[in-house]
Chain A
């Protein structure tokens, strides 16, 4: 049979290593999964991206560092020490024979399908801060955690941003408080049937004697906060964050009425050096999307989650999901055992599916904690509305591409094009809605919101909610925007392969290499060779 030597045939990449089970994410679920599979006698590779490289810290991969990283985060050894110290279960995994690789990103997942057939098998793209490589797997357990909510707000004249919680690396006390505070707020709010009151508590920061740390808190914690002298504001939202470059100096709170409108004259400026955001969590489903696992919308589980069975198996038989990435809610924040049990189930199921005999362990069913959440998106919608009504429309919703809330709903072409057109001016979400359901990918292409270096990790949920709000569409009807590899932004000289097969280099063409394709059609039959790597570069000499 003839083979097109310019095609991928016979030069598909080979993974440099193959492992029976790869577990992505070394949190409670991932470590538990890895230990169970290893104890069943299966070869297990456990990967976690932390400690991440300094450059990645502003990219909102699931641990958050805010904007006030100190020089110590550049100290890899120290960061590694911290990661290990805050996760004692890693030692247990190591004892069980798990190959633990920290500081390793998963930037891609590649599987064969209708339009990709050349791969020798499913594989992950991995990288550290120096190089990238490919690892093949038989079973993949995704325990990639969740992303916290990055709410953009008006930030005075300075681009100060809000701090988010960094559970293992900033003050654990603050993170824990913030998380547990969030964990009951939504439910209590709606159970009480009151308008969405939002609470701010400020207590002396343990990290700084200079100032205070405003933080979301709840009625339940109100009493304990009050007993420590912590002011506590309900029915307030944040109008503005003020500060210098890289530092926050104060926030302006404003009271909101039953319609979420700011109450004139109720502004209150509070000096602070940190803002903890603990508004909500969204399952991290990037990898699950890439392997083609079916995702369903479940507001009580934080949004888009993989469809899984009782053994944590996704719609792709070789892929399992466990922990927060499979759906997250208040109860899971309070009780890490829920994620741990899910991890164990996934580890056992993956090992069994490879023929391993696992010891009989009494386990609660996977769903014991899964359904315990309350729907969160209505609560988030209210938050967004209060922020817009208090802070206005000129706030960037996409920080990378600097697209404002107004530009998004008016579907404005990006400012850098310096392009005005009556046709585009006439377009808006309303006119798009007449053409069919609005989807976020379309909005990305037209406004560039979500197209920057963070690839919408910081604005995905907010854009979705704003589009839903502006078009009167139920949030579950707004399709999940696509994730494209690399799901971690990697430098060209890290992503590149150092081991290209000779055929890849020698037979490389920029386009199809069809001899007649670039011949003038009036000179039929004339065949010219397509420019290849050997062709000299010609620059104009204007």
Chain B
């Protein structure tokens, strides 16, 4: 509609949470292919592992269920913290995140149309979001970010990205359409 094309590929990722345990000295232990931490309540909350590329029509908010991957996450976590292998997993959840072709954010105010601001954190926004929010507000108010040079995050770096970049990268669903597999039960 705006004549702007922002290359993004959405994917579904998963996390698990255990029951609480007393706070550890190092609550931020990560590794073994996992990211996460111990929460202030004491739960171990960790994610990682293979993502599933999906198609999201119209950038709607789709359902984000879990898969049996939660078992593999449990194994990785027990390997990372063997002393916690007896802890019970009390829930898991999934989320949809998007990525640009280089995995880095786009925060930009293109020249045309000049009243539009583009922003995606490309799946690395959790810790960066306060700074990103400030940068975006400055783009709106002053036309540029006052505290950092955001030129490396400009949309123009994808000017030569081919329209079929997702297919070329393999960042697309690889199986048959939902309609074809729905016979087996579908959400």
Contact = CB atoms under 8 A, between A and B. Distances in A.
A479 interface: no
A78 to B, nearest CB: 24
A113 B152 contact: no
A8 B67 CA distance: 11
A167 interface: no
A132 interface: yes
Counting from the closest, the 7 A-B pairs by CB-CB distance are A517-B103, A113-B187, A514-B103, A292-B187, A496-B75, A2-B170, A4-B170
A316 B185 contact: yes
9 contacts: A6-B51, A8-B51, A115-B94, A292-B186, A492-B18, A492-B78, A492-B87, A509-B49, A512-B99
B168 A2 contact: yes
Contacts, number: 247
Chain A interface SS verdict (over half): loop
Interface of A: 1-4, 6-13, 55, 108, 110-119, 121-123, 125, 132, 134, 140, 290-292, 316-319, 401, 414, 416-417, 448, 451-453, 455, 484-486, 489-493, 495-497, 500, 504, 507-512, 514, 516-518, 521-522, 524, 531-533, 535, 537-540
Nearest to A117: B175
Interface residues of B, number: 78
Contact of A132 (B30, B63, B71): B71
Contacts of A12: 67
A116 B67 contact: yes
A492 B91 contact: no
A492 B187 contact: no
Given A116-B12, A134-B68, A111 B31 contact: no
A383 to B, nearest CB: 28
A108 B70 contact: yes
B41 to A, nearest CB: 6
A115 B90 contact: no
B58 interface: no
B46 to A, nearest CB: 9
B114 interface: no
A142 B51 CA distance: 30
Nearest to A2: B170
Given A13-B68, A108-B66, A493-B78, A118 B34 contact: no
Residue from the set B20, B40, B50 with the largest chain A CB neighbour count within 10 Å: B50
Contacts of B186: 111-113, 292, 316
A537 B69 contact: no
Given A318-B184, A453-B88, A497 B51 contact: no
Interface in B18-56: 18-20, 26, 29-35, 40-41, 47-54, 56
Nearest to B173: A117
A337 to B, nearest CB: 30
Given A489-B19, A493-B78, A539-B26, A115 B88 contact: no
B133 interface: no
B185 A319 contact: yes
A484 B91 contact: yes
A1 B66 contact: no
Given A114-B187, A512-B99, A4 B169 contact: yes
B155 interface: no
B184 A115 contact: no
B94 to A, nearest CB: 8
Contact of A492 (B68, B85, B174): B85
B93 A497 contact: no
A512 B71 contact: no
B31 A531 contact: yes
A521 B170 contact: no
A512 B11 contact: yes
A497 B75 contact: yes
A491 B86 contact: yes
A363 to B, nearest CB: 26
Contact of A532 (B11, B33, B53): B33
A453 B90 contact: yes
A351 to B, nearest CB: 17
A476 B29 CA distance: 43
Contact of A111 (B35, B76, B185): B185
Contacts of B69: 8, 13
Given A318-B184, A495-B70, A504 B26 contact: no
Given A4-B170, A4-B171, 18 more contacts: A7-B52, A9-B170, A110-B65, A112-B181, A115-B65, A292-B185, A292-B186, A318-B185, A453-B19, A453-B88, A492-B89, A496-B75, A509-B48, A517-B99, A517-B124, A532-B33, A533-B33, A535-B31
Contacts of A125: 68, 71
B145 interface: no
A122 B87 contact: no
A537 B68 CA distance: 26
B100 to A, nearest CB: 9
